Every structure is written in structure tokens, then in C-alpha cells.
A = this chain, B = another copy of it.
Amino acid sequence: MNAQMRIYGDLRSGNCLKVKYAADLLGVPHEWIAVDIAAGETRTPSFLAMNPAGQIPLVAWPDGRVLAQSNAILRYLARGTTLLPADPFLQAKIDAWLFWAQYSHEPYVAVARFEMVYLGKPKAERDPRLVTRGEAALDLMEAHLASRLWLEGGGFTIADLALLAYTRLAPEGGFDLSPRPALRAWIARCEQAIGLES
């Protein structure tokens, strides 16, 4: 029996990458288990027994505990580290970014990328609602980051980590980052913080 934490995920998914970035950065030993959604691997009885929602990423520990939802996983792995500073109000502001990301950023920025990269749609044929709302999400980040190095607090936190994954890939969804200098500088800082090649 392998006594390591297991991460079930797909490296093409930003939500899965967030968990991998966090585990790597925090030095959490883990086994990565590649899951192919298109092949139905999140709908097998054994996977649904671990996560009835049939979603990845999913983390499983040798003692049988499992945890779903990328942002819940980030928060759990990061507790007690500089990625999630102890101050309760700072944690709350970080939480607000995590919920905003999942509700007002990922469903537009990531889904527009999905349409182009995985469904092969040309940029001009993206769902207009995805474009409008995705642009608004990126504009909000640009305005916020114009006067800050990091989304909250004085350093790189799971708020930055959670938003980085899909924001850096936004150009693959047809979003132009060139008129957003603060966002581009933040992406570069984040990539450096987690040791990613830009």
C-alpha cells in the first residue's frame, strides 16, 4: 500500500492544476492519478463512491478520507503556511476571492478556453455571454492589481494560486491580456512564486 496522498486529476484542467501547484509548492508528497473525464472515468462506481458529484480534482488519503472541490483542497493543504496567513479577516478576504473565482471567473474565462481549445471553436464563435463576463472578470482583476502586488495581503496566497491557473491561460480562450499590464505583471510574479516557466 502506498501511504501517500493521492490526487485524482487531469493536467489540462486549471482546477486540477491548482491542487498540483499547491502540493508541489508546499512539498506535500503525493501520487498523481490521471483521470480521463471524456473516457467516463469520473462516472465509474468506484470513483462515484469517492465523490458522488463525479468531479475532479479529488484528494484521497491512505486512511480513507477524501476531499473534493479544488478550493477546499487548497485551503486545507495551505493551512498553517504563508499561503494562508493566520489573520481571520485576511483569510476571509482570501475566501472571497476563492468564491468569486469559482462563480464569476472560471465559468466564463475557463469555459471560453474550453470552447476554443477542446471544441475547436474559432474566437469569433465563442458564446457572447462568456466573452462579456470573462472580460469583466479580467477587468476587475486588472483594476484591483493596479495598486497591489498580490490579490490580498503582503505575499503570494491561495487567492493568487486559485486565480492564476485559468487567468494565465485566458489568451487560449481568446482574451487579450496585452491591454492589462497589472494583470500580466501579477501573472509573472505568481509564475515566479510557484516556479513555473512563463
A70 proximity list for chain B (CB < 8 A): 99
Tallying the copies of this chain within the complex gives 2
In the complex, 24 of the A-B residue pairs with CB atoms within 8 angstroms, ordered by the A residue number, are A52-B140, A52-B143, A52-B144, A53-B100, A53-B140, A55-B104, A67-B92, A67-B96, A68-B100, A69-B95, A69-B96, A69-B99, A71-B95, A71-B99, A72-B93, A75-B95, A76-B88, A76-B89, A76-B92, A76-B95, A99-B99, A99-B102, A103-B103, A103-B107
* Top 10 A-B pairs, shortest CB-CB distance: A72-B95, A76-B92, A72-B96, A69-B99, A69-B96, A68-B96, A71-B99, A102-B103, A72-B92, A52-B140
Residues of A within 8 A of B (CB): 52-53, 55, 65, 67-73, 75-76, 79, 88-89, 91-93, 95-96, 98-100, 102-104, 107, 140, 143-144
